[in-house]
Amino acid sequence: MTGDWLDFWNVSNATYINARHKDVHYRLIAKDIAALVPSPQARVLDYGCGDALHAHVVAAATAELVLCDAAPRVRVRLAARFDGSEGLEKNLRIRVLAPEEVEHLPNHSFDLIVLHSVIQYLAMNETKALFSLFHRLLQPDGLLIVGDVILPHGRAWSDALALLRLAAANGFLMATVYGLVHLAFSDYRSLRGRLGLARYEEGEMMQMLSDAGFAPQRVGKNIGHDQARLAFVASPRKAGRF
């Protein structure tokens, strides 16, 4: 992740309309990820998890949930939320790690790895490196989920429409109408315009995952609210399988 994007996520939450939006956003993601957990014995990695406000929902479906984010301040908030220091009961199933700590985990550490709404902020070589790392970390029968992949022809108005639909269904529509005007002049919009976002065709993602040793396929439902973006599921390719 470029230093500019990392600095943004380390200090800013300007991508959310208000606290209600942020809560609904993370609750929906947690619900969708929990539904993907293959068994109560599964070990799960949520890589690039952000604030993960409702990670306890995912953790309840697992034996262990590892939360990883590159932004140090995000990790501090995560640790405080789930280690009991904020007055909540300590969640023994949740562990917070930095990316460099994840890189040193043993082979086959996880049954499920989720990479959601991350690769648009990475260079292609960084995404390829992550896919190779995840191939090592997954169990032979494990699954990698890659969500929120933006198509080359994806447009900001599509993101706005998806947000308006989410807002209408969850009681913060008027705030969103005004908030979208503010977001148009926000640091996020400025940074997005200057650095751009990584975008991929379906075939490009399939090829990158295949090159990393996975058997990939596109799935019909993206994690979260924006169904104009793509999602993929991939499992380590068995020896002799092409």
Residue 241 domain-assigned (yes or no) = no
* Distance between CA atoms of residues 103 and 66, nearest Å: 13
Host domain of residue 35: 3-236
* Distance between CA atoms of residues 58 and 212, nearest Å: 27
Query: In the numeric block, which tokens belong to residue 32?
Result: 């969708």
* Distance between CA atoms of residues 4 and 121, nearest Å: 10
Provide the 3-class DSSP secondary structure of residue 56: helix
Residue 202 domain-assigned (yes or no) = yes
Residue 127 domain-assigned (yes or no) = yes
Which residues have a Cβ under 8 Å from the Cβ of 144 and sit 6 or more positions away?
112, 113, 114, 115, 131, 134, 135, 138, 209, 214, 233, 234, 235
Tell whether the model's pLDDT for residue 36 goes beyond 70: yes
Residue 79 domain-assigned (yes or no) = yes
Task: Give me the residue label for tokens 């970390």.
Answer: 137
Question: Mind listing the pLDDT tens digit for each residue in 66-124?
Answer: 999 999 999 999 999 988 766 567 889 999 999 999 999 999 999 999 999 999 999 99
**pTM more than 0.85:** yes
What CATH number is given to the structural domain containing 134? 3.40.50.150
Residue 242 domain-assigned (yes or no) = no
Residue 229 domain-assigned (yes or no) = yes
Q: How many domains does the chain have?
A: 1
